[in-house]
Amino acid sequence: MIVEEIMNRHVYSLSPTNTVNDAVRLMREKKIRHLPIVDGQGTVVGIITEHDVKNALPSCLKEEPNSTIHQTPIEEIMTKNPIIGHPLDFVEEVAVTFYETKISCLPIVSGGELIGIITTTDLLYTYIELTGAHKPSSKIDIRVSDKPGTLSDITQIFKEHKANVLSVLIFPDSKNENSRILSVRVQILNPLAIIGELRNQGFDVLWPNVPGVHNE
Amino acid sequence: MSKNAVFIYSPEQLGYKFSDSHPFNHKRLLLTMDLLKKIDALSDDDIVPARIATDEEIALAHDKKYIEIVKNAGHGLLTPQQCENYGIGTEDTPIFPNMHEASSLLVGGTLQAVDYVMQGKSRHALNLGGGLHHGFHGRASGFCIYNDSSVAIKYMQEKYNARVLYVDTDAHHGDGVQWSFYDDPDVCTLSIHETGRYLFPGTGNVTERGNGQGYGTSFNFPLDAFTEDESFLEVYETAMREVFEFFKPDVVFTQNGADAHYFDPLTHLYGTMNIYREIPKLAHKLAHEYCDGRWIAVGGGGYDIWRVVPRAWSFIWTEMNDLPYPTGELPKSWLEKWQKEAPVPFIPTWEDPNPLYEPIPRKAEIEEKNAQMLTKALHIIRNERK
């Protein structure tokens, strides 16, 4: 999956000469936390986050009449030359960037212009879509040995039961490094026949997988 | 003189049958009725036949094209491949002869129940053949072809202009009904179910609260797997009282799936007969407090049709008729009659043996998690009340 498939194309931005007050208002109004700062040519020259704004403003507990901070141009508090992304970047790469640099937003630039934005919220939503139930389905977790052909053996059983598989995730087994957990979301209310067949063929079905509770 | 309650049933409702080995088996209706008759709780005068819902009525909640597909499939005119996009011809919901006719009789039964209650001919009405809460607008899902509950609620809105509270205690999320009224502020859906982390249909998270005008009129209470009686009932009773007080319905419609029991093969909740005694009791009480008694109840899931469903569903009928709870031994004649067919030994008493199962290792944590979920789910109305 690449960034252009999940990025937000409707980007709110400001220019370096807008004031801190403009940023506060726009963030509140649109319920957003990040604003790319764009110059007259459409080039991203900075970024300002809700955190930057809060740092700049005086405490709400302390009265400071006639504070000039609200009228300060944004360019004085923005992060200059922020990390940017490209619409063809892989979503996984963006996740690594967020994780390693501890930032939470990437302006997406193509042809020298700002064309989109992606935030940790968008990435989380993508993850929810990958693992969640978008169609009525049951989930079956299976502990499998980490060797070629296992997935094929398992999907054969789903095929024989005409069960439509909606998602498959394979992740490490925290208990045994020679095995993996296969988590399958399948469009069926009654998975008992499939589970029976999986167990017949020697698979360790964990459904439902609650640590400390053993289910027959 | 109006009756306390009517029992909707026609033998033809048993025609809703996928196959001999399918877990959804309406023989449950026969077992339940026979049990009620043998304790003298049900007489032929109480029984009102189901009617057939018309295509127009079914179309209140279903796509016309889908209705045609169901008709044709049941008349042998379509292959399973041609029905694939409509959710029929699958292992869950196979094609069977006259599936449209059988399904429209389940819908008509629920409409019959609605008319009796809304026209004041009886205070309460029970159609155990209904409660097919997974049916979608244009697609069968999870053993359900037509969603009798969605049709009946739309029918109550159009014909009686009623404000309806739908309560679903099936162990599976009542997704079909929830999505039918997700945008509608005049229908409130309340579903208590096992979390969708593993169990079908996967939805029913606390965060599903409705949409647009209907925001705040969908309530979901997903219980952890291995939830036991006390925690189930704490969630049920708190949710019911607070949602009734918040929504103030004209009529309450309950779906009484009986698959949250420890014995049920398809789910992982650890309920016992206690929950099935308490569920109708509170629904009945609140129906009188808020709805002048107007209460329509339907069946639903329930896949241990021998040991669980007949006892569980009998409690709905005895509650509707203000009869004391049946307790002690089940009638010998009933046990003898059905034991021959049953693949498992019956529980010979109305109560389950105590204990019914080995203690759950993480009981306290499961209860704590459910309590936290309950707070989250009700947060929205508790906040408004302040």
Q: Do B202 and A136 touch (CB under 8 A)?
A: yes
- Structure confidence at residue B56 as a pLDDT band (50, 70, 90): very high
**Rounded to whole angstroms, how far apart are CA atoms A40 and B265?**
66
% of residues, chain B, pLDDT over 90:
96
**Rounded to whole angstroms, how far apart are CA atoms B187 and B180?**
10
B163, B192 contact by CB (below 8 A):
no
Distances (CA, A) of B109 to A56, A159, B11, B115, B170: 67, 37, 12, 10, 19
Chain A residues near residue B134 by CB distance under 8 angstroms: 136, 189
Chain B residues near residue A142 by CB distance under 8 angstroms: none
- Tens of pLDDT along B316-360? 999 999 999 999 999 999 999 999 999 999 999 999 999 999 998
Q: Does residue A80 lie in a domain region?
A: yes
Tokens, residue B129: 């053949």
A67-87 mean pLDDT: 91
Domain boundary among A105, A127, A149: A127
Query: What CATH number did the domain enclosing A122 receive?
Result: 3.10.580.10
- Taking the Cβ of residue A94 and every Cβ of chain B, the question of whether any pair is shorter than 8 Å is answered with no
Q: Do A189 and B197 touch (CB under 8 A)?
A: no
Across A122-131, B204-213, B229-238, B251-260, least confident range: A122-131
Closest CA in chain B for residue A213: B361
- What pTM does this model have? 0.88
Chain A residues near residue B23 by CB distance under 8 angstroms: 190, 192
- Structure confidence at residue B129 as a pLDDT band (50, 70, 90): very high
Residues A91 and A191 in one domain: no
Residue type at B83? C
Chain B residues near residue A215 by CB distance under 8 angstroms: 225, 268
Q: Do B361 and A133 touch (CB under 8 A)?
A: no
Residues A120 and A142 in one domain: no
**Rounded to whole angstroms, how far apart are CA atoms B97 and B146?**
15
Q: What is the pLDDT of residue A209?
A: 60
Q: Choosing among A159, A210, A214, A216, which should be mutated to test the B contact, i.e. which has the most B CBs within 10 A?
A: A210
Q: Does residue A210 lie in a domain region?
A: no
The mean predicted confidence, pLDDT, of chain A is 89
Q: What is the pLDDT of residue A62?
A: 73
Q: What is the pLDDT of residue B370?
A: 96
Residues A17 and A90 in one domain: yes
Residues A99 and A17 in one domain: yes
Q: Choosing among B83, B91, B134, which should be mutated to test the A contact, i.e. which has the most A CBs within 10 A?
A: B91
A210, B226 contact by CB (below 8 A):
yes
**Rounded to whole angstroms, how far apart are CA atoms B248 and B165?**
8
**Rounded to whole angstroms, how far apart are CA atoms A139 and A141?**
7
Nearest to B197 among A139, A164, A212 (CB): A139
**Rounded to whole angstroms, how far apart are CA atoms A69 and A165?**
56
Residue where the block lists tokens 């169901």: B70
- Checking B358-367 for CB contacts under 8 A at 24+ apart, the result is B360/A213, B360/B226, B360/B228, B360/B270, B361/A212, B361/A213, B362/A210, B362/A212, B362/A213, B362/B226, B363/B226, B363/B228, B366/B224, B366/B226, B366/B227, B366/B228, B366/B231, B367/B227, B367/B230, B367/B231
A83, A97 contact by CB (below 8 A):
yes
Range of the domain at A171: 134-205
- Tens of pLDDT along B265-306? 999 999 999 999 999 999 999 999 999 999 999 999 999 999
Chain A residues near residue B92 by CB distance under 8 angstroms: 188-190
Q: Do A210 and B200 touch (CB under 8 A)?
A: no
Q: Do B203 and A192 touch (CB under 8 A)?
A: no
Please give the tally of structural domains in chain B: 1
B71, B100 contact by CB (below 8 A):
yes
Q: Does residue A212 lie in a domain region?
A: no
Q: Does residue A114 lie in a domain region?
A: yes
Secondary structure of residue B89 in the 3-state scheme: coil
Q: How many CA atoms lie within 13 A of B187 on its CB side?
A: 24
Please give the tally of structural domains in chain A: 2
Q: Does residue A214 lie in a domain region?
A: no
Chain B residues near residue A138 by CB distance under 8 angstroms: 198-202
Q: Do A208 and B225 touch (CB under 8 A)?
A: yes
**Rounded to whole angstroms, how far apart are CA atoms B209 and B217?**
6
Domain boundary among A81, A108, A127: A127
Residues A186 and A120 in one domain: no
Chain B residues near residue A208 by CB distance under 8 angstroms: 197-199, 225, 268
Q: Choosing among A137, A181, A189, which should be mutated to test the B contact, i.e. which has the most B CBs within 10 A?
A: A189
% of residues, chain A, pLDDT over 70:
94
Q: How many CA atoms lie within 13 A of B214 on its CB side?
A: 18
β-pairing, B47-48 vs B3-8, is: parallel
**Least Cα separation, residue B297 to chain A (angstroms):** 23
Q: Does residue A96 lie in a domain region?
A: yes
Distances (CA, A) of B173 to B119, B178, B180, B220: 30, 9, 14, 8
- Tens of pLDDT along B86-118? 999 999 999 999 999 999 999 999 999 999 999
How far from each other are the two terminal CA atoms of chain A, in whole angstroms? 38
Closest CA in chain A for residue B171: A189
β-pairing, B47-48 vs A179-186, is: unpaired
Q: What is the pLDDT of residue B310?
A: 98
Q: Do B266 and A212 touch (CB under 8 A)?
A: no
Is residue B369 packed enough to be buried (19+ CB in 10 Å), middle (13-18) or exposed (0-12)? Answer: middle
Q: Does residue A170 lie in a domain region?
A: yes
**Least Cα separation, residue B350 to chain A (angstroms):** 26
Tokens, residue A111: 């042809």
B276, B282 contact by CB (below 8 A):
no
- What interface predicted TM-score (ipTM) does this complex get? 0.79
Q: At what angle do helices B99-118 and B148-160 cross, to 10 degrees?
A: 40
Q: Minimal CA–CA distance to B140: which of B253, B24, B261?
A: B24
A123, A147 contact by CB (below 8 A):
no
Chain B residues near residue A140 by CB distance under 8 angstroms: 198
Query: What CATH number did the domain enclosing B216 receive?
Result: 3.40.800.20
Chain A residues near residue B175 by CB distance under 8 angstroms: 136
Residues A101 and A165 in one domain: no
Range of the domain at B237: 3-351+359-385
B280, B297 contact by CB (below 8 A):
yes
- Taking the Cβ of residue A61 and every Cβ of chain B, the question of whether any pair is shorter than 8 Å is answered with no
Closest CA in chain B for residue A161: B91
**Rounded to whole angstroms, how far apart are CA atoms A117 and A10?**
8
Q: How many CA atoms lie within 13 A of B238 on its CB side?
A: 20
Q: What is the pLDDT of residue A63?
A: 67
CA gyration radius, chain B: 20
Domain boundary among A77, A105, A127: A127
Across A86-90, B239-243, B270-274, B279-283, least confident range: A86-90
**Rounded to whole angstroms, how far apart are CA atoms B303 and B143?**
12
- Taking the Cβ of residue A112 and every Cβ of chain B, the question of whether any pair is shorter than 8 Å is answered with no
A98, A89 contact by CB (below 8 A):
no
Q: Do B172 and A209 touch (CB under 8 A)?
A: no
Residue type at A139? K
**Least Cα separation, residue B5 to chain A (angstroms):** 33
Residues A85 and A101 in one domain: yes
